[in-house]
Chains A and B, each alone.
Chain A
């Protein structure tokens, strides 16, 4: 590139200076033919829009990785399979490696060491036998599906995904899962030798951890992973013989259950503890999210109390609290869950002929799936569970049971202390520096962290006013309003409808978050995006306060693919009105109500994210995730 052009395009030479890394990834032996390199650029990932977030399932990834270079090799349509195999595997490894320096130099910087390691694994996986079979068998219909999806999304951003994939992949599989998987695979091999091959392995493997606990939904979800992904995967499963050990280790939890798949839902229902009936009149776009009739679950579950012996009473209690909405805040939910698990661990004793690590993981898994039935997990809870499982697998075999239990229990305590309580304190300290005398602060809904910040600023005798914006149906803001007014803060209470009116007098917007995703997107209570956008339009800085244990490496571009649906009845009913015109909405054909729980706020509308690691711009979230993501698990 000519550096003399007055453009904003960066001279590659100079760019290299800025990001130079100690050395190239060591294993660059297999560099493909140069001719194939340019072809990868227009071809993006073959993700269908609905499947975006969970980049977790190995086979899912594989299909994507394979899918990417395929359309670039046009001869695939006509050529004999052997030929296309060569092309496919070459372009693939080439694109993975060559894409790294040019496409995403910034992501390379920090990855330094680990990138090379990952890329090695990645290559090994790519070169495994599995692929070679995929291409020929899945040929025609795969290319079709791929081309179709390429038309839809040929964005640059997606093209980077295959690079990132290896990492979450790695993080996702805890040791226990992998071990359970291996175990199951061995068993499967013994029973059905070779014939069924991968298919049976996959299914039995995934259900392995749940063998001890009968009614779990999780294994079911896992099973459906491959089917859901796309038709392209089926031939792969059938055709290939046993993949190398390395590959199977990479098996990871599948994408979330898609609730618009009838068969799966039926099966899931059979296993579930909580008797739920599917809600009627669901909104078309959100069919893939679970939605049940409300009202009867709680009483139903209560009556079952004595039958559900596999669910620990503490977990049961927390589950009921989730279901009834007694615990709403994400920090509170996470703490409650961890404390329940602490009790589970306390009362746990390893059954004979089993090892603690494996059995306890299964136990935790079944508790988790019970909790999921009560209410879908939040991302912070997912992170906490990941941490706990990692701790369990880290327990050395030599440790006695009581030792292991105490160490786990203290680990949980430490997690709660360090990641939630202490982090909150640090964040409060940071955020208070941004509150000056005479400020008008706007906050939306109710966040425990924001409450602490405001109260602390008040204790420091800062003179400021608070505008609490609230929304139906939960009216969370009223709780916050009550607490603030009790402490003597001067408050204004309004509904979200009035936000554009009130915004011009606001000087700072403080928002909480359920999660911060690695593209800087804020995943938070529905309505947050609206507030942030209005604030941005009025040039009011938006500060998002979030503990870093809620950060997630996922990237989400809309609030459709991953969300939580609330009870539609609550938005149909208007309190205080005698006759609601929507009373019998469910019986009306063509009327659907949508009660979303979360939305995503694009990073553009966020001025700053306050974490315990300091105040950072939303662009730096990946740095935190990268530098501290592992620490969350390892603590």
Chain B
């Protein structure tokens, strides 16, 4: 699966990306954790408070509504924290491993502080550093160590599909190599590490690849409906805007955490015409929409996606109006799940604020995501290429069996 990564398109468009990718890398490193995020970070609690999915807490921390003064604060914080914050992840790893016993969770949290880095990629990097700092002397030992590390990561947040899938795929990719038969343990270990780093690299690049693939589908003068805040979708739109395409974006509000507002904010910065909708205005404005692009929390084996609440209804409306629905998802989100219906998933809950007190007797639906079956999706933009939904299962079968 991974060796088929379409990463070559990055090489092809090297010059195009060169100018903007470098400074961004810097800013990614230096971005500080927001205050709310710091709370979640120092609370690596497998059972989140108030039954709220840790995944969505992190997301809220990363993509919560950004006000201008928050930005100003953040900017200031960058200046302040530059020295104190471990800007170089390697140094932080070294210090942590030398001073206290290595903990994969700490490492993971360290990586996770970068808001631009997906959770799964953070996990993948954390697992790679498990290999690096491992003191195992046999292959079996190392594998077992990896296994426990990935299990502890997975149990850190069971509601995050991409985290689980990323860990699983990492284990598959890294340990499924001839290195196991190497006689020299060190050689085998370095082979493991090499694969781990490569995997991390591929996963990290995934968003760029998808952006390159996806922007081809955006044509001049089109109207795109997006839902929620997805970094991949933003990257696609950014790439399209940079290649001088003229298009318009309709943003849903994305209740309850109103991630759509943040998305609109980001787009406005790019000078893309953007219009905000309330979530219930999707059908109303669908006839002026040319395509729907959504991200995904996870891509399941049927080829359907699990994504933020409301994706399913948007897909239904789009289907009935014959508009294409494109999903942008990195391949580390491919999960071995097969929901048959909406209730057939691990529930991820998220508090909903209605603005007014809700009487005790009234029940509130707090599910944070829904499942969109494959028949409502047109294409998936992944770093493996542009796939039809049915290919997802083919890829998964080939990887896991």
Q: Does B324 contact A (CB under 8 A)?
A: yes
- Closest A residue to B394 using CB positions: A623
Q: A8-B378, A11-B216, A620-B390 are in contact. Are A508 and B6 (CB under 8 A)?
A: no
Q: Are B393 and A616 in contact (CB under 8 A)?
A: yes
Q: Does A560 contact B (CB under 8 A)?
A: no
Q: Return the contact of B397 from the options A5, A19, A508, A614 (Cβ within 8 A).
A: A614
Q: Which among A2, A8, A608, A617 has the greatest number of chain B C-beta atoms within 10 A?
A: A617
Residues in B whose Cβ lies below 8 Å from that of A543: 340
Contact residues, B341-355 vs A (CB, 8 A) = 341, 343-344
Q: How far apart are A634's CB and chain B's nearest CB, in angstroms? A: 16
Number of B residues contacting the other chain (C-beta, 8 Å)? 39
Please report the C-alpha to C-alpha distance between residue A2 and residue B4 in the assembled complex, in whole angstroms: 25
Q: How far apart are B100's CB and chain A's nearest CB, in angstroms? A: 39
Q: A4-B220, A18-B6 are in contact. Are A607 and B340 (CB under 8 A)?
A: yes
Q: Does A3 contact B (CB under 8 A)?
A: yes
Stretch from B165-173, B277-285, B380-388 that touches the partner: B380-388
Q: How far apart are A239's CB and chain B's nearest CB, in angstroms? A: 44
Q: A8-B324, A614-B336 are in contact. Are A627 and B401 (CB under 8 A)?
A: yes
Please report the C-alpha to C-alpha distance between residue A510 and residue B395 in the assembled complex, in whole angstroms: 26
Please report the C-alpha to C-alpha distance between residue A181 and residue B42 in the assembled complex, in whole angstroms: 74
Q: Are B344 and A434 in contact (CB under 8 A)?
A: yes
Q: How far apart are A429's CB and chain B's nearest CB, in angstroms? A: 14
Q: Does A421 contact B (CB under 8 A)?
A: no
Residues in B whose Cβ lies below 8 Å from that of A106: 388, 391, 394
Contact residues, B286-332 vs A (CB, 8 A) = 290-291, 301-303, 323-324
Q: How far apart are B340's CB and chain A's nearest CB, in angstroms? A: 4
Q: Does A571 contact B (CB under 8 A)?
A: no
Q: Does B193 contact A (CB under 8 A)?
A: no
Q: Return the contact of B393 from the options A2, A13, A623, A627 (Cβ within 8 A).
A: A623
Q: Does B85 contact A (CB under 8 A)?
A: no
Q: Are B216 and A614 in contact (CB under 8 A)?
A: no
Residues in A whose Cβ lies below 8 Å from that of B374: 617
Q: Are A617 and B301 in contact (CB under 8 A)?
A: yes
Q: Does A395 contact B (CB under 8 A)?
A: no
A interface majority secondary structure = mixed
Q: Are A541 and B385 in contact (CB under 8 A)?
A: no
Q: Does B9 contact A (CB under 8 A)?
A: yes
Q: Does A498 contact B (CB under 8 A)?
A: no
- Closest B residue to A615 using CB positions: B338
Q: Are B385 and A14 in contact (CB under 8 A)?
A: yes
- Closest A residue to B4 using CB positions: A20
Q: Are B394 and A110 in contact (CB under 8 A)?
A: yes
Q: Does A619 contact B (CB under 8 A)?
A: yes
Q: How far apart are A591's CB and chain B's nearest CB, in angstroms? A: 44
Q: Does B222 contact A (CB under 8 A)?
A: yes
Q: Are A10 and B386 in contact (CB under 8 A)?
A: yes
Q: Are A3 and B217 in contact (CB under 8 A)?
A: yes
Q: Does B398 contact A (CB under 8 A)?
A: yes
Q: Are A6 and B290 in contact (CB under 8 A)?
A: yes
Please report the C-alpha to C-alpha distance between residue A469 and residue B379 in the assembled complex, in whole angstroms: 38
Q: Does A35 contact B (CB under 8 A)?
A: no
Q: How far apart are B366's CB and chain A's nearest CB, in angstroms? A: 19
- Closest B residue to A5 using CB positions: B219
Q: Are B324 and A541 in contact (CB under 8 A)?
A: no
Q: Does B400 contact A (CB under 8 A)?
A: yes
Please report the C-alpha to C-alpha distance between residue A17 and residue B7 in the assembled complex, in whole angstroms: 9
Q: Which among A15, A18, A614 has the greatest number of chain B C-beta atoms within 10 A?
A: A18
B201-225 vs A, CB cutoff 8 Å, 1 = contact: the mask equals 0000000000001001111101000
Q: A10-B379, A17-B385, A617-B302 are in contact. Are A623 and B398 (CB under 8 A)?
A: yes
In addition to A4-B219, A617-B390, 16 A-B residue pairs with Cβ atoms within 8 Å of each other are A3-B216, A6-B290, A8-B379, A11-B217, A14-B213, A17-B6, A18-B6, A18-B384, A434-B340, A508-B340, A543-B340, A614-B397, A617-B302, A620-B394, A627-B397, A627-B398
| Residues on B facing A (Cβ under 8 Å) | 4, 6, 9, 213, 216-220, 222, 290-291, 301-303, 323-324, 336, 338, 340-341, 343-344, 374, 378-379, 384-388, 390-391, 393-394, 397-398, 400-401
